[in-house]
Structures are given as C-alpha cells and as structure tokens.
Amino acid sequence: MGKVPEKIWTWQMASPFKKDRETGEVTPGRLEKTQIDVPELMPGEVLVEVAGCGICHTDLGYYYQGVPTVNKPPLTLGHEISGIVVAAASDVESWNGKEVIIPAVMPCRKCHLCKTGRGNRCLAQKMPGNSMGIYGGFSSHIPVPAIDLCEVRNRGSIPLEKLAVVADAATTPFQAAKRADVQVGDNVIVIGVGGVGQYMVQVLKALGAATVVAVDINQERLDTMLKNGADLAVNSMGKTPRDISGELKAYRKENGLPSTGWKIFEVSGTKPGQELGLALLSFTGKMVVVGFGPHKVEYSISRLMAFDAELIGSWGCLPEYYPSVLSMITSGKINFEEFVQTRPMGTIQESFDEAHKKSPDQRIVLIPDF
C-alpha cells in the first residue's frame, strides 16, 4: 500500500493548443509539471495513487482541437486510470489498500437519467480530466468517489498500470454494444479498429456476435483483428462506400448471411468512417456512433424511416458494467496486453504529439515517475 503524499504531483494543461481559423496561426499548448495540495477527503471519497493513465483521443481533442472542458485550464487531463487506494474518508475505509479502476464517467446516481438507466450520460457526472476541478489522471494521486470504483481482483500477471485502459478504451465498446442491444448470433460491422475499435471487435465477439466485420485503412491492424475476433477484414483505403458495400454483399451471398438487421459501430471518429457507416446502414439495421470528430456529415434522415433503421449515439460506460469487462480481460476472452504499451509520465508531451499525428496501434499508458 502506498503512502499519503504531502503534495500531489501533476502534469497540468496550462493552456490548450490553438489554431486561428482566419490566419492559420498556431499557438502551441502547454503541459506543465507542478504540485497541488492534497484535498481534504469528503464523505464517500478516497485518494487513489495512480498506477497508470492512458492517453485517449478525447484528451487529444481537448489539447489539440480546442474541444471545451467543463473546468477551464489549468487542469490535469487523463480519465483512463488504475491505481491503489491510499486514503479514505471514515465512511469508506474498507477501500483502503485496494487496487482499483476509476470509471471515466461517474454518474450522480440521483437524477432522472441515472434512475432510468442512462447514468453514463448523467449531466452532473464527474469525469477526471474534465469536470473534477483540477484533478485528472496524469498525476501522482487523484481524489474520487468510492461508490463508482471497480475493484481489481485476480488480475494474475497483468500489471495494474496496464488495466488503466479498462476505464475507457475497453468499456466504451461494451456500453455501445449494450446500446445496440447486441444479441448472440448478431451480424456486426466495426469501422475503425484503432485504440477503441480493436476492443469493440473483441467485445462483440465475446458477447456472441456471429459475424464481425472489421473495416480500416490499415492492413496491419486488420490482420491483427482477424486473429482477435474478426471474421472478415475490409481495407477501405482508396475505396468508395459503393465498393465496400459490394464486397460485403458478395461476402453475405457466399456465406448465406442476411442483408437486413446488421449493426454498425463507427469507432474511427473520421468523416469518411461516418459517411461509410451511414452508407452501409440498411433495412432494420442500427448504427452506433462511438468515435468523436468535430466535422459535419450530410445524410438524408428519411432513409431511417424508409429502412426502419436506427442511428444511435453512445457515451462512456456505466460503472456497473466495469466488472464484466474486467472479467473478460482476466479470463482471456479479450486479448489485452498485446494492445497496450507503457511509458514514463515524463514523456507526456512527446507521447501526446505522437498519438495526435497517428493513432498508435498500442494504447499508450503513462506511469507516474515524479
């Protein structure tokens, strides 16, 4: 068990990266290593010593694309967090010493959305690195409500720091699958098999999907997915939606699969990916938007009526689903460690720049080295 620190070390986003729309002039963002006070824990709160924090596309959106955060800079980014509880308020002392995963979104559990099963989109939710004041995962410690924690048990030889990605990259696909009401025997398509998409494929197969089609522009990633749950890999590089639709039609015909009821998960967050998903959405199908992008896409929504189809958004993951996903990982149903890399947290600026230029094949988890 760790010790309660005198101060919390943190990498704060002092200012985000900015680009003037008119002049194109760029103002680089600033990540500053600093210290902040250890807060007095309120009832129900614990202090977690961070073991690892993953770099998510959302963090990069805040930093490089000017996506607004609830709390303005300076604040500490990072919401994919694993660690160990080193202090707890008197009413939650039983959490002391436990290894935990901190959910990326923590609902208030009191509002109408929470009470009707939609707490993942609770408007009063707490999100490290966004709506928890100055606190985020790219730090040595973080105070959080104990009620939402996922205790890590029987992790075997899996390092605790690597399990940080369960907090978002691995659980967001599970929530998306629930939103689509994925059932055993379903036929599904995953567009974009990068940091989140590679788990989307595996979660769908673990939930019993009969056919999983992976679509990406990176052949190496597609080859990896064929070894980890995908039944068909489609390289979309240089192809039109009509081309890809033709490939899928031929595959369906060859394997005796229906043309209706397919569930599509758009995880790339790119305009071409979203346009492709909408083009493939057909009779009684569902498309779930998982990836984020700042662009706009044109679509005739009357097609939804004609196809009796559904277009759905999915945000984060309910904390109560975390144990199920963690179990999938520790039981080997999801190939986990192959898709994670760790680095010292002192490399945060270079790691941000690298992940921004090209989504890494292995999720980057930063380990505190203050």
User: Is residue 2's pLDDT more than 80?
Assistant: no
pLDDT digits (tens, 9 = 90+) for 326-349: 999 999 999 988 899 999 999 999
pLDDT digits (tens, 9 = 90+) for 145-170: 999 999 999 898 999 999 999 999 99
The pLDDT value given to residue 331: 92
Average pLDDT over residues 29-48: 95
Do residues 211 and 232 make contact, with C-beta atoms less than 8 angstroms apart?
A: yes
CA distance 288 to 190: 10
CA distance 137 to 126: 13
pLDDT digits (tens, 9 = 90+) for 223-258: 999 999 999 999 999 999 999 999 999 999 999 999
Write down the domain spans for the chain.
7-168+317-367, 171-313
pLDDT digits (tens, 9 = 90+) for 107-118: 999 999 999 999
CA distance 169 to 323: 14
Nearest one of 336, 49, 328, 361 to 165, comparing CA atoms: 336
7-168+317-367 carries CATH number 3.20.20.150: no
Average pLDDT over residues 352-366: 92
User: Is residue 83's pLDDT more than 70?
Assistant: yes
Judged by DSSP in three states, 126 sits in strand
Band the pLDDT of 172: cuts 50, 70, 90.
very high
User: Is residue 216's pLDDT more than 80?
Assistant: yes
Does this chain's domain 7-168+317-367 share its CATH topology with 171-313?
A: no
CA angle 82, 84, 88 (to 5 degrees): 120
CA distance 93 to 87: 8
H helix or E strand, kind and range, residue 349: helix 348-357
pLDDT digits (tens, 9 = 90+) for 291-327: 988 889 999 999 999 999 999 999 999 999 999 999 9
Q: What average pLDDT is seen over the chain?
A: 95
H helix or E strand, kind and range, residue 13: strand 7-15
Q: Which CATH class is domain 171-313?
A: alpha beta
Do residues 229 and 212 make contact, with C-beta atoms less than 8 angstroms apart?
A: yes
Band the pLDDT of 19: cuts 50, 70, 90.
confident
Which residues, in sequence order, are CB contacts of 316 under 8 Å at separation 6+?
A: 103, 104, 105, 120, 121, 125, 127, 168, 171, 172, 175
User: Is residue 1's pLDDT more than 60?
Assistant: no
Distances (CA, A) of 24 to 65, 165, 234, 343: 13, 34, 36, 33
